[in-house]
Structures are given as structure tokens and as C-alpha cells.
């Protein structure tokens, strides 16, 4: 049986220029990202060794860099890029990514727009 532990980062905020409309690309907007990283934390806990787990501070910085980076049309594409960045960390076996776009250009009242994806190592 494979055991999986989870490290969660919630509410990472960054300004990006993603979207299909010119105003979104020009002005940008805030995106919020939630992550759940699945990994086995037992080796790190046994030795109290950061190198045997995932450094969530570094992951947070990398995710912000992705959001602030090259613009894409779809939040689906943004979520995929974030997931692939997280999976570059050796300890991470699976990641759930939620991208929030609270200022999406929608003409009716709403609270939030999100995309949720889960990706794992093959």
C-alpha cells in the first residue's frame, strides 16, 4: 500500500496578464492559487531533514513566478503550467492545483471562477 501525505498551500496571490481579452492582457489582474502536494513525508520526519521533503517556500515562489510570467489565454493552461512546475520537485508525487480568477470579465454578479486539476507522475 502506498501512503501519501499532503502539504497544502492556500491563497497564493500574484498579478498576471492572462486572459483572452485585450484589457486582461494590458491591465492584468490578481490570480489566487491553492495547492495540495502529495508526497511521503516519513523520510523527512525520521531524519528531521528538509532535503527529504518539499520546500514549500520555494514552491510558493515558483508558483508566483509562473503566474507573473508568460501570459496565456486560459486559466486551464496556467493551472497546467503550475502543476508541471510542482512536479519538478522530486518528493512531489501528485499535485492538485486550483486557480482562482476572482476578477474574471463576467457581466453578472459572481464570487469566483476556478479551475481545479490533479496531475501526478506517470
Residue 72 backbone zone (phi > 0: left; psi -120 to 50: alpha; other: beta): beta
Q: Which of 13, 23, 88, 101 is catalytic?
A: 101
Sign of CA dihedral 37, 39, 42, 47: negative
Looking at the DSSP bridge assignments, the partners of residue 30 are 15
Whether residue 101 lies in the annotated active site:
yes
- Residue 96's SS3 state is strand
Q: What's the CA gap between 57 and 74, in Å, rounded? A: 26
Question: How many other CB atoms are there within 10 angstroms of residue 100's CB atom?
Answer: 21
Tell me the catalytic residues.
101
Amino acid at each position: 500500500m502506498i501512503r501519501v501525505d499532503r502539504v497544502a498551500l492556500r491563497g497564493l496571490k500574484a498579478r498576471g496578464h492572462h486572459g483572452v481579452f485585450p484589457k486582461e492582457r494590458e491591465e492584468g489582474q490578481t490570480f489566487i492559487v491553492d495547492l495540495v502536494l502529495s508526497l511521503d513525508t516519513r523520510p523527512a520526519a525520521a531524519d528531521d531533514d528538509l532535503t527529504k521533503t518539499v520546500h514549500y517556500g520555494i514552491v510558493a515562489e515558483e508558483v508566483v513566478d509562473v503566474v507573473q510570467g508568460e501570459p496565456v489565454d486560459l486559466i486551464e493552461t496556467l493551472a497546467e503550467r503550475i502543476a508541471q512546475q510542482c512536479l519538478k520537485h522530486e518528493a512531489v508525487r501528485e499535485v492538485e492545483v486550483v486557480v482562482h480568477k476572482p476578477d474574471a470579465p463576467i457581466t453578472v454578479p459572481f464570487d469566483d471562477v476556478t479551475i481545479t486539476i490533479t496531475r501526478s507522475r506517470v
